[in-house]
Amino acid sequence: MSEFLGVLRWITINIFGEASILIGLIVLLGLVLQKKSLADIVSGTLKGILGFLIIGAGAGIIVSALLIFQPIWTEVFGLSSMNLTNIIGQARFSERYGSSVTIAIAGGFAINLLLPG
């Protein structure tokens, strides 16, 4: 039983802990359920994974570009300066809670598939 739990824990951390892989699995499952061809399944899955990674990278670039304007906004709008070092951030949040959130999303997805409709 402990070997099974070890394998399940590995899958949870290494596969479901990566949001891009989860998105890819959801896209894969959707394309298989739609009975698409193998070429469409492979290309659609890769497009889903790469699209998710590109959106994440683009969001990071935009956020870092906007941080340059923080002193200007502070001066113009009379805002108090904040120390952002205590905020957990996306990377640490994903490390700490990524597996749990992913399992919750996968569970919700499975329930949604089972509901009549």
Mean pLDDT of 94-110: 78
Is pTM beyond 0.85? Reply is no
pLDDT at residue 91 greater than cutoff 90? no
| Alpha-carbon dihedral sign for residues 109, 110, 111, 113 | positive
Q: Who has greater pLDDT, 117 or 73?
A: 73
Task: Provide the CB-side half-sphere exposure for 73 (13 A, CA).
Answer: 8
Q: Which two tokens stand for residue 80?
A: 């108090």
Mean pLDDT of 15-34: 86
Domain residue spans of the chain: 2-114
State the pLDDT confidence band at 84, using cuts at 50, 70 and 90. Answer: low
Mean pLDDT of 89-105: 76
User: What value does the CA radius of gyration of the chain take, rounded to a whole number of Å?
Assistant: 20
Structure confidence by residue, pLDDT tens digits, 30-83? 899 999 999 999 999 999 999 999 998 998 899 888 888 888 888 888 877 776
